[in-house]
Amino acid sequence: MGSDNGEERIQGPCAGREERIFVSVRMRPLNEMEIARNEVTDWECINDSTIVYKNSFAAMRSMYPTSYTFDRVFSCDCSTRQVYEEGAKAVALSVVDGINSSVFAYGQTSSGKTYTMTGITEYTMADIFDYILKHKEREFVLKFSSMEIYNESVRDLLAPDASPLRLLDDPERGTVVEKLTEEILRDWNHLKELLSICESQRQIGETFLNESSSRSHQLLRLTIESSAREFLGKDNSNTLTASVNFVDLAGSERASQALSGGSRLKEGSHINRSLLTLGSVIRKLSKGRNGHIPYRDSKLTRILQSSLGGNARTAIICTISPARIYVEQSRNTLLFASCAKEVSTNAHVNVVMSDKALVFHLQKELARLENQLRSAGYSVRSDAATLLREKDLHIEKLEREVRELILQRDLALSRIQDLQQGEADDKSSMKWEGPDSYYHELHIQQSWGSPNSGESTLAHHLCIGGFQDI
Please report, in range form, the residues annotated as the binding site for ATP.
Answer: 107-114
- Is the alpha carbon torsion for 38, 40, 45, 51 positive or negative? negative
With residue 396 as reference, give the H or E element that holds it: helix 380-428
Residues annotated as binding site?
107-114
Nearer to ligand ATP, 199 or 342 (CB): 199
| Relative orientation angle of helices 263-286 and 327-340, to the nearest 10 degrees | 40
- Report, in Å, the least distance between residue 215 CB and ligand ATP: 8
CB-CB neighbours of 103 under 10 Å:
28
d(CA 309, CA 198) in angstroms, rounded, equals: 28
With residue 414 as reference, give the H or E element that holds it: helix 380-428
Nearer to ligand ATP, 124 or 210 (CB): 210
Residue 306 binds ligand ATP, judged by CB under 6 A: no
Contact map string, positions 196 to 235, toward ligand ATP, x by CB under 6 A: --------------x--xx---------------------
Residue 350 binds ligand ATP, judged by CB under 6 A: no
- Report, in Å, the least distance between residue 315 CB and ligand ATP: 17
- Report, in Å, the least distance between residue 83 CB and ligand ATP: 8
Residue 274 binds ligand ATP, judged by CB under 6 A: no
d(CA 53, CA 59) in angstroms, rounded, equals: 7
Residue 110 binds ligand ATP, judged by CB under 6 A: yes
238: helix, strand or coil: strand
CB-CB neighbours of 107 under 10 Å:
31
- Report, in Å, the least distance between residue 312 CB and ligand ATP: 23
Residue 9 binds ligand ATP, judged by CB under 6 A: no
| Radius of gyration, CA atoms only, the chain | 41
Query: Candidates 2-10, 25-33, 133-141, 221-229 — which segment interacts with ligand ATP by CB under 6 A?
Result: 25-33
Scan residues 381-400 and list those touching ligand ATP (CB under 6 A).
Answer: none
- Report, in Å, the least distance between residue 177 CB and ligand ATP: 22
- The burial class, CB within 10 Å (0-12 / 13-18 / 19+), for 258 is buried
CB-CB neighbours of 116 under 10 Å:
25
Specify the DSSP class assigned to residue 50: E
- Report, in Å, the least distance between residue 73 CB and ligand ATP: 13
d(CA 152, CA 209) in angstroms, rounded, equals: 23
- The burial class, CB within 10 Å (0-12 / 13-18 / 19+), for 163 is exposed
Nearer to ligand ATP, 49 or 257 (CB): 257
* Nearest residue to ligand ATP, by Cβ distance, number only: 112
d(CA 433, CA 249) in angstroms, rounded, equals: 117
Q: Among 109, 227, 243, 307, which residue sits at the site for ligand ATP (rule: CB under 6 A)? A: 109
Query: Candidates 9-17, 23-31, 135-143, 342-350 — which segment interacts with ligand ATP by CB under 6 A?
Result: 23-31
Residue 112 binds ligand ATP, judged by CB under 6 A: yes
Which residue, among 229, 368, 219, has the nearest Cα to 304 in the 3D structure? 219
Contact map string, positions 409 to 428, toward ligand ATP, x by CB under 6 A: --------------------
Q: Among 17, 20, 31, 438, which residue sits at the site for ligand ATP (rule: CB under 6 A)? A: 31
Residue 29 binds ligand ATP, judged by CB under 6 A: yes
Residue 337 binds ligand ATP, judged by CB under 6 A: no
- Report, in Å, the least distance between residue 98 CB and ligand ATP: 31
Nearer to ligand ATP, 224 or 271 (CB): 271
d(CA 44, CA 32) in angstroms, rounded, equals: 19
Largest CA distance in the chain: 146
Nearer to ligand ATP, 202 or 302 (CB): 202
Let me know the angle formed at the C-alpha of 387 by 384 and 391, rounded to the nearest 5 degrees. Answer: 135
The Cβ-side half-sphere exposure at 438, using a 13 Å CA radius, reads 11
d(CA 175, CA 51) in angstroms, rounded, equals: 36
Contact map string, positions 69 to 108, toward ligand ATP, x by CB under 6 A: --------------------------------------x-
CB 340 within 8 Å of CB 346: no
- Report, in Å, the least distance between residue 331 CB and ligand ATP: 17
Contact map string, positions 232 to 271, toward ligand ATP, x by CB under 6 A: ------------------xx--------------------
Nearer to ligand ATP, 111 or 311 (CB): 111
Residue 456 binds ligand ATP, judged by CB under 6 A: no
Specify the DSSP class assigned to residue 29: P
SS (H, E, C) 179-227: CCCCEECCCHHHHHHHHHHHHHHCCEECCCCCCCEECCEEEEEEEEEEE
Residues found near ligand ATP in the complex (CB under 6 A): 28-29, 31, 107, 109-115, 210, 213-214, 250-251, 319
